[in-house]
């Protein structure tokens, strides 16, 4: 089959700004060739077996030559692969996408252009600067702040640019900032014209330096690429309209230690509040050594009076085996079903099962308390759960005369990482480490101890989802500074917001 290349705009940095069509291309691709400015988080959309190649295009450092990248795109496509070329911003706005498309066309390779959100629009928006405004600017000009030195002259008509009353947006102009400002003044732009230099726009690392054409060179002297430079009266609105940097967790580097398939539930609300999320899954979920005990219990489901599930993963595997055995929610009729918390109850609801109760406190002790008014003597209770879990619930129910059958629905094991992988993720160090269960806490801390990185925990804020996880952390020697009032993901996020809220004094 002939190959094909998708030139995909990765957007300006915030991974959630990738277009749906761009995401579909990544999910389909056999090979992904990505730039430095494309958020690494976008690679999570790729298939695990997809080849991922870093193009190494970063200003001021060794990089692949454009001709080499062109040859790589062509060779991969000629090998019959679907290639996603992931480029920061928009491929056709100072992204050299036109050159790559020309090379593909000349080689007879099929290709598509998938536009992306350009940093020239997005970075000012995240800095609260509207590029156009009815009273301030009715035009926008995008300008290269750095041109190909091999060209005989500049393609920028500086006289027209400086004389414009509209907004000027410069790309790749960090190192030429002072010269750009000086040239604009020389060609007639007012020295007091406001200027904003935005570094890493749309990302939690975003920095905004404000000034005028007269002093911006000095003010932003130490700022490193990548930046977008905005010149014009609209910059004055930034101080009043900036919203991104006012998000409650803006700029906080927060580690999420949940299993990879569960991480999004915590990552997304943290990112929505401005945090930079680092995923280091401490655990992995695996099927039990044998499904026989769980299958046998399901085949005898009519013998049980109660079904108690203490995790979302327990629900997933229980319902999967229910369906694998040709059964469905109707076979659970007559059972009193308890879920440890709202997330577990919601997972049941996905399969058409409504739980009978959720305890007030979302932990194992709460399940026992919720059953206080039920007659248990002589009744049969089924608990599908992880291989290694606390015996609090089974023992408490057995004391009340119940016959409890615990079956393994899944196993929790420590995740594995390549040499140096965690060290790279924690450089620079994190501000917060979050733990959503005792298993994530114990496995993660052993992981850090094994790499001699446990000292980082002592310098950071440790956040726990609830009392049981907090007790485990204290036992391990790392008491949490933050504990959720409600043992849920929203409760943990709210606790972090409260912890980092500015003091009213």
Kindly state the average pLDDT of the residues 202-227.
95
Same domain, 45 and 110: yes
Residues of 448-481 as b/e, b for ≥16 C-beta within 10 angstroms?
A: beeeeebeebeebbbbbbbebbbebbeebebebe
Query: Token pair for residue 243?
Result: 């919203």
At 452 the pLDDT is 87
Residue at token pair 């002589």: 378
CA distances from 349 to 125, 342, 346, 486 (A): 39, 10, 5, 21
Same domain, 403 and 292: yes
CA distance 278 to 281: 9
Contact 120, 169 (CB under 8 A): yes
Angle (CA) 441-255-450 rounded to 5° is 50
Same domain, 182 and 238: yes
430 confidence band (pLDDT: 50, 70, 90): very high
| pLDDT, tens digit (0-9, with 9 covering 90-100), for 4-48 | 999 999 999 999 999 999 999 999 999 999 998 888 889 989 998
Active site residue 387: no
129 confidence band (pLDDT: 50, 70, 90): very high
| pLDDT, tens digit (0-9, with 9 covering 90-100), for 338-376 | 998 898 999 999 999 999 998 887 777 777 888 887 888
Kindly state the average pLDDT of the residues 470-474.
95
Active site residue 395: no
Same domain, 270 and 419: yes
CA distance 75 to 130: 42
Looking at 110-189, list the stretches that DSSP marks H as alpha helix, in order from N- to C-terminal side: 119-126, 158-163, 177-186
Same domain, 434 and 336: no
Same domain, 67 and 36: yes
Kindly state the average pLDDT of the residues 141-155.
77
Looking at 59-151, list the stretches that DSSP marks H as alpha helix, in order from N- to C-terminal side: 66-78, 97-106, 119-126
CA distance 336 to 327: 18
At 481 the pLDDT is 97
Residue 291 lies in a domain: yes
CATH code for the domain of 149: 3.30.950.10
- DSSP-based helix, strand, coil % in the chain, nearest 5: 35, 20, 40
Same domain, 314 and 462: no
Whether residue 165 is predicted with pLDDT greater than 60 in this model: the reply is yes
Q: Which position among 35, 76, 87, 316 bears the catalytic label?
A: 35
Q: What percent of the chain has pLDDT over 70?
A: 96
CA distance 171 to 53: 25
Contact 283, 386 (CB under 8 A): no
**How many structural domains are present in the chain?**
4
State the pairing for strand pair 167-171/194-199: unpaired
Helix (H, G, I), strand (E, B) or coil at 104: helix
State the pairing for strand pair 227-231/167-171: antiparallel
At 414 the pLDDT is 87
Nearest Cα neighbor of 448 from 479, 474, 425 is 425
Same domain, 49 and 107: yes
Range of the domain at 110: 4-117
Kindly state the average pLDDT of the residues 444-470.
91
Q: What percent of the chain has pLDDT over 90?
A: 72
Same domain, 278 and 423: yes
Query: Among residues 244, 265, 299, which one ends one of the domains?
Result: 244
CA distance 454 to 48: 30
Residue 505 lies in a domain: no
| pLDDT, tens digit (0-9, with 9 covering 90-100), for 380-429 | 999 999 887 667 788 888 888 999 999 999 998 888 888 888 998 898 89
At 257 the pLDDT is 95
Q: Is the alpha carbon torsion for 414, 419, 423, 425 positive or negative?
A: negative
CATH code for the domain of 112: 3.40.1010.10
Active site residue 172: yes
The model carries a pTM of 0.81
Radius of gyration of the chain (CA): 28
Same domain, 406 and 424: no
User: What average pLDDT does the chain have?
Assistant: 91
Looking at 259-341, list the stretches that DSSP marks H as alpha helix, in order from N- to C-terminal side: 264-272, 292-299, 312-324
Q: Which position among 30, 87, 172, 316 bears the catalytic label?
A: 172
Q: Which position among 57, 76, 87, 316 bears the catalytic label?
A: 57
């Amino acid at each position: 089959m002939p190959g094909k290349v998708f030139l995909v705009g990765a957007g300006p940095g915030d991974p959630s700004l990738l277009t749906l069509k761009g995401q579909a291309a990544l999910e389909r691709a056999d090979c992904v060739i990505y730039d430095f400015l494309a958020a690494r988080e976008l690679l999570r959309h790729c298939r695990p077996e997809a080849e991922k190649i870093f193009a190494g295009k970063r200003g001021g450092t060794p990089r692949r030559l454009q001709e080499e990248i062109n040859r790589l795109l062509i060779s991969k496509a000629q090998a019959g692969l679907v290639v996603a070329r992931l480029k920061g911003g928009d491929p056709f706005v100072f992204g050299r996408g036109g050159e790559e498309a020309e090379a593909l066309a000349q080689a007879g390779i099929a290709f598509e252009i998938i536009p992306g959100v350009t940093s020239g629009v997005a970075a000012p928006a995240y800095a609260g600067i509207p590029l156009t405004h009815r009273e301030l600017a009715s035009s926008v000009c995008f300008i290269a702040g750095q041109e190909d030195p091999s060209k005989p002259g500049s393609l920028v008509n500086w006289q027209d640019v400086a004389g414009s009353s509209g907004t000027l947006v410069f790309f790749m102009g960090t190192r030429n900032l002072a010269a750009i400002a000086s040239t604009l003044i020389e060609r007639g732009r007012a020295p007091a014209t406001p200027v904003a230099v935005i570094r890493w726009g749309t990302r939690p690392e975003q920095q905004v330096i404000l000034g005028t054409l007269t002093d911006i060179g000095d003010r932003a002297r130490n700022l490193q690429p990548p930046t977008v430079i905005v010149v014009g009266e609209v910059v004055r609105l930034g101080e009043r309209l900036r919203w991104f940097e006012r998000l409650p967790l803006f700029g906080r580097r927060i580690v999420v230690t949940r299993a990879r398939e569960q991480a999004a539930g915590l990552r997304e609300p943290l990112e929505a509040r401005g945090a930079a999320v680092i995923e280091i899954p401490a655990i992995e979920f695996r099927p039990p050594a044998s499904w026989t005990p769980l299958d046998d219990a399901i085949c005898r489901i009519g013998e049980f009076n109660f079904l108690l599930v203490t995790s979302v993963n327990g629900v997933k595997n229980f319902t999967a085996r229910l369906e694998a055995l040709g059964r469905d929610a109707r076979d659970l009729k007559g059972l009193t079903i308890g879920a440890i918390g709202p997330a577990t109850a919601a997972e049941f609801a996905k399969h058409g099962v409504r739980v009978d109760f959720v305890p007030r406190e979302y932990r194992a002790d709460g399940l026992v308390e919720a059953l206080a008014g039920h007659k248990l003597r002589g009744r049969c209770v089924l608990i599908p759960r992880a291989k290694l879990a606390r015996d609090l619930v089974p023992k408490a129910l057995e004391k009340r005369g119940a016959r409890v059958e615990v079956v393994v629905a899944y196993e929790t094991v420590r995740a594995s990482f390549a040499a140096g992988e965690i060290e790279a993720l924690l450089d620079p160090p994190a501000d917060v480490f979050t733990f959503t269960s005792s298993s994530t806490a114990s496995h993660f801390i052993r992981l850090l101890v094994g790499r001699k990185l446990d000292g980082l925990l002592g310098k950071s804020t440790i956040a726990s989802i609830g009392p049981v996880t907090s007790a485990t952390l204290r036992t391990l020697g790392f008491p949490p500074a933050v504990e959720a009032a409600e043992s849920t993901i929203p409760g943990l996020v709210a606790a972090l917001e409260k912890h980092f809220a500015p003091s009213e004094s």
